[in-house]
Amino acid sequence: MTDVGRHPLIELMTYSEVKNVRGYVGNFEVTILRRARFVDEKECTACGDCADVCPVIRPNEFELGLSTRKAIYSPFPQAIPPAYVIDIDACLGNMPLACEKCYQACEKKCIDYDMMDREVEVKVGVIIVATGMKVFDPTSLTEYGYTRYPNVITSMEFERLINASGPTGGELIRLDNHKRPHRVAFIQCVGSRAQRRGMPYCSNVCCMNTVKDTILIKEHWPDIEVSVYYIDIRAFGKGFESLYMRSKSYGVRYIRGLPGEIRSNSSGNLELIVENQENGSVESHEYDMVVLSIGLEPDETLEDLRQKLSLSKTADGFLMEAHPKLQPVDAPTRGIYFAGCAEAPKDIKDSVTQASGAVARAGILLNKGEITVEAITSRIIESKCRMCGICAKVCPYNAIIFDKSKKQYPKVVEAACAGCGTCGAECPFDAIVMRHFTDEQILAQIDAMLETNPMDKVVVFACNWCSYAGADFAGTSRFQYPASPRLIRTMCSGRVDSKFVLHAFRKGAPVVLVSGCHFGDCHYIDANHWTAKRIEKLKKRLEKLGIRSERLQLWWISASEGQRFRKVMELMEEIRQTVTPEEVEETKRILEEAEAKKVKAG
């Protein structure tokens, strides 16, 4: 930690958040909000004179509320940067007449009540997301009585109680009478591997954390009896099994079976009711402290950041990798990488390993010093353009420069264009070519698909990042569905021009599905909002023409929603079966007529 504070190439911005991210791989422009700490970070020597005189007392978050701090405080003794911070909502110093005690006490005059939040712009080529996770709050598991019984604590609270710099100076005590416990039980999988409440997955670290905790107790106080209630002990890593054996050799009892209930008796002791799965008997055991070994879960406060970075999450809520096996540290968005628990629960060693891996991967880009941009950007055909400006309006990247008053053709900034194709789909004059995803190419795919037996097929437009990937995931998961759908890949659902849909119906398609990322997940910021608007408009138009709008479907399917993909395909098949050959012929006739009218009108 101290190395980070010292390194000349590391600019540490604590008490700060990423506010905005623009740009693309190799060239991100990031706005960082630096919240005011009201203490000059560089000048403060962490002498603590300020806190000594501060009259405001608040629960200490670092100690999980087991002790208190002042309104001006250092988060913990080894904090980096080693500077105090004012909890301004609690501070009385805003009204100098009321307090200002810390200001008076500070010899170096580091305190500034008028300090303001400020924004900093930085330019970077790569981004590592190492935002971590949060720990499970077991209050909802009422049978364990956490918060109801003072001697039921979480594994995180245990860490602070046994820590030499913690609130008790490392003395393990019961929270009701402050005496050392004689019998301690650990309950595993609290919030993990739960079918109903909590998380369905294994949190990876809790078994070994408990094994470690039991060793700490036994090495300090060998006379404390320690029991562990568990489903399985997962000691799979290097050195883990020997640690588990060490715990057992110290006399820690491991009992297979999770308690169904904890009751408190008159002495404040706790009674655990458990079905011992070794012998099938229902047993009751008394302890004077119970530690709930809590799992890890995704931090939902990071949802906003996730959307800013156009990242997806897997079904468990953690961030989704580009490939779960072959690109485990790459985000699907180029230039962004993962480290630590943001991607999945993992221990310190794995977090460190992944961080080094992420830096090595990012280094591939940084070392080269330049990157190639895929040749899928848009181009304007000036001879067809009528300078309406719609392309510039719909571009999520502001990559099309157009000023109506200047009477110049719009211009695409190639480095800023991400190739979503929304401009191409929205241009009313066909004056935009999407390279490698041209109208001609997509229409040729539709024609080829529907040339024979069109009635048997469902035309599916799928975006590269979400729904196409969701179909891939259905494949790797071997989810079975009817063989009628045929996918046409576009980079974004925003590329799906109304004319593609109408063309498919004209060629006899019974059902057309347009699919893309969920709102907020779009790989091209919010291009899929244009898809939604376009499809809604198109459905109305179909109704007006006397074509059943149910035959045009719009579904959002994420890359991790293989099951949803399967279900949507089954639904498409159901709709397909409601369409008769007569209906399709009628549709073809209506659309041919409409087309003829349009041509005639010129």
Partner 1 sequence: MDRRIGVFICECGLNIAATVDCESVKEFAQSLPGVAFATVNRYTCSEPGQEEIKKAIGEYRLDRVVIASCTPRMHEPTFRKAIEEAGLNPYLLEMANIREHCSWVHLHDREGATEKAKDLVKMAVARAGQLEPQIETKVPVTRAALVIGGGIAGIQAALDFAENGYKVYLVEKAPSIGGIMAQLDKTFPTMDCSI
Footprint of partner 1 on 504-563 (CB under 8 A): none
Number of residues engaging partner 1 in binding (CB under 8 A): 127
Residue whose C-alpha is closest to residue 380's, from 400, 366, 397: 400
Q: Which residue from 60, 131, 203, 204 is in contact with partner 1, where contact means CB under 8 A?
A: 131
Residue 458 is a binding residue for partner 1 (CB under 8 A): no
Residue 116 is a binding residue for partner 1 (CB under 8 A): no
Q: Which residue from 355, 388, 525, 594 is in contact with partner 1, where contact means CB under 8 A?
A: 355
Residue 347 is a binding residue for partner 1 (CB under 8 A): yes
Residue 188 is a binding residue for partner 1 (CB under 8 A): no
Scanning residues 144 to 183, which ones bind partner 1 (CB under 8 A)? 156, 159-160, 162-164, 166
Half-sphere exposure at residue 344, Cβ-oriented, CA atoms within 13 angstroms:
15
Q: What is 487-512 written as a DSSP string?
A: EEEES-GGG--HHHHHHHHHTT-SEE
Scanning residues 239 to 298, which ones bind partner 1 (CB under 8 A)? 239-240, 243
Q: Which residue from 199, 474, 496, 568 is in contact with partner 1, where contact means CB under 8 A?
A: 474
Scanning residues 561 to 590, which ones bind partner 1 (CB under 8 A)? 566
Q: What is 138-170 written as a DSSP string?
A: GGG-GGGTBTTBTTEEEHHHHHHHT-TTSTTTT
- DSSP collapsed to 3 states, 251-288: CCEEEECCCCEEEECCCCCEEEEEEECCCCEEEEEEEC
Scanning residues 201 to 240, which ones bind partner 1 (CB under 8 A)? 208-209, 211-212, 215-216, 237-240
CB of 167 to partner 1, least distance (A): 12
Residue 471 is a binding residue for partner 1 (CB under 8 A): yes
Tokens standing for residue 170:
């490392």
What gap in Å lies between CA 431 and CA 443, rounded to an integer?
Answer: 16
Residue whose C-alpha is closest to residue 378's, from 341, 415, 353: 415
**Contact between residue 515 and residue 554 where contact means Cβ atoms under 8 Å apart:** yes
What gap in Å lies between CA 531 and CA 553, rounded to an integer?
Answer: 12
Q: Which residue from 320, 362, 385, 400 is in contact with partner 1, where contact means CB under 8 A?
A: 362
Residue 457 is a binding residue for partner 1 (CB under 8 A): yes
Residue 478 is a binding residue for partner 1 (CB under 8 A): yes
Length of the chain, please? Answer: 602
**Contact between residue 62 and residue 76 where contact means Cβ atoms under 8 Å apart:** yes
Residue 59 is a binding residue for partner 1 (CB under 8 A): no
Q: Which residue from 57, 95, 98, 448 is in contact with partner 1, where contact means CB under 8 A?
A: 448
Residue 123 is a binding residue for partner 1 (CB under 8 A): yes
Residue 449 is a binding residue for partner 1 (CB under 8 A): yes
Burial of 221 (0-12, 13-18, 19+ CB in 10 A): middle
What gap in Å lies between CA 431 and CA 438, rounded to an integer?
Answer: 11
**Contact between residue 493 and residue 531 where contact means Cβ atoms under 8 Å apart:** yes
| Nearer Cβ to partner 1 (26/138) | 26
* Stretch of 8-16, 143-151, 225-233, 284-292 lying at the interface with partner 1 (CB under 8 A): 8-16
* Three-class secondary structure of residue 556 per DSSP: strand
Residue 145 forms beta bridges with which residues? none
Half-sphere exposure at residue 463, Cβ-oriented, CA atoms within 13 angstroms:
31
Q: Which residue from 90, 373, 455, 579 is in contact with partner 1, where contact means CB under 8 A?
A: 373
Q: Which residue from 54, 272, 342, 425 is in contact with partner 1, where contact means CB under 8 A?
A: 342
| Nearer Cβ to partner 1 (91/542) | 91
CB of 326 to partner 1, least distance (A): 8
CB of 189 to partner 1, least distance (A): 17
What gap in Å lies between CA 424 and CA 157, rounded to an integer?
Answer: 57
Q: Which residue from 204, 214, 464, 531 is in contact with partner 1, where contact means CB under 8 A?
A: 464
| Nearer Cβ to partner 1 (78/249) | 78
Cis peptide before 81 (omega within 30 of 0): yes
Scanning residues 21 to 50, which ones bind partner 1 (CB under 8 A)? 26-28, 30, 32, 37
* Stretch of 111-119, 131-139, 495-503, 508-516 lying at the interface with partner 1 (CB under 8 A): 131-139
Q: What is 559-585 written as a DSSP string?
A: TT-HHHHHHHHHHHHHHHHH--HHHHH
**Contact pattern for partner 1 over residues 320 through 339, marking x by CB under 8 A:** ---x---------------x
CB of 78 to partner 1, least distance (A): 5
CB of 24 to partner 1, least distance (A): 9
Tokens standing for residue 309:
């970075």
Q: Which residue from 88, 173, 231, 365 is in contact with partner 1, where contact means CB under 8 A?
A: 365
Q: Which residue from 279, 372, 383, 405 is in contact with partner 1, where contact means CB under 8 A?
A: 372
Scanning residues 397 to 416, which ones bind partner 1 (CB under 8 A)? 414-415
What gap in Å lies between CA 535 and CA 26, rounded to an integer?
Answer: 34
Long-range contacts of 266-274 (CB under 8 A, 24+ apart): 268/149, 268/150, 268/151, 268/174, 268/176, 268/177, 269/151, 270/145, 270/149, 270/151, 270/152, 270/185, 272/185, 272/229, 274/229
Residue 112 is a binding residue for partner 1 (CB under 8 A): no
| Nearer Cβ to partner 1 (95/448) | 448
Residue 65 is a binding residue for partner 1 (CB under 8 A): no
CB of 182 to partner 1, least distance (A): 21
